[in-house]
Amino acid sequence: MSRSFAVSTSAVAREFRAADTQSEDYPTVQALNYMSRMIMERSGGRHQIKVFHSRQLGEEKETIEQTRAGAIDLNRTNVALIGTFVPAMNVLAMPFLFRSIEHLQKVLDGPIGNEILDSFEPYGFVGLAFYDSGARSIYNNVRPVRSIADIKGFPAFSVYAATKAAVRSFARSWTTDLKARGIRVNVVSPGPIDTPLLNGTFSNPDDMKVLASTIVMGRLGRPDELAKPVVVLASDDASFITSAELYVDGGAAQV
């Protein structure tokens, strides 16, 4: 993603304050240090960034508040927490949002990512860029995890499992909030779909057979089988359907 910003050419030196709650050797902290070196080099030593790591300026919520007040110039934060200040960021905290790493990068480095970053300004911030901290994986010895429903009842997963209820709650709230604008809100809960990401996760053919055997219909879903119900819900054919949850999973969640 390309983003530009202007730096004053004044001879007055400026030390920018940057906050990161991670330790000094963490990649995001190292990135801030690299940025400081680049600014010093390109400003002829007039400007630099002083990096405060390891919660030196407080917990993340506190540093976000300081950033909005102008006490901190640059802040690296997590999506979940900045979402309490900038609502659009909550979209990125939803599970199973991206098909692959490539899909994630294409979205964040494109118009959608820029639109999310632009949404910071009304709340007193300027969104600069996204850090990609990698994909999250969940392992267990009970059953394959293909959706949020699959971790129901797992020890230590109570918070994560609650996200399924959170998505459903979003639909209820948005249904009420947006009805005056003629907007319907529904939830689609997919099962395992035959995609490059899934094939990469279960590269062993035997694992794929085991996965398929856990589905009532005995096979994986196709992308078009997920897309078609979404198209119907978005069309006038579903004009009287709102605040509903549709399982497109071959019966996995219901049987």
CB 127 within 8 A of CB 118: yes
Whether 160 sits among the annotated catalytic residues: the reply is yes
CB 229 within 8 A of CB 255: no
Q: Which of 34, 123, 131, 160 is catalytic?
A: 160
Q: Write out the two tokens for 193.
A: 């779909």
Q: CA torsion angle for 155, 159, 163, 166 (degrees, to 10)?
A: 130
> Cα angle at 219 between 218 and 223, to 5 degrees?
150
Q: Write out the two tokens for 159.
A: 């918070």
Residue 141 sits at φ, ψ, to 5 deg, of -110, 25
CA 48 to CA 40: how far, in whole Å?
A: 5
Catalytic (active-site) positions: 160
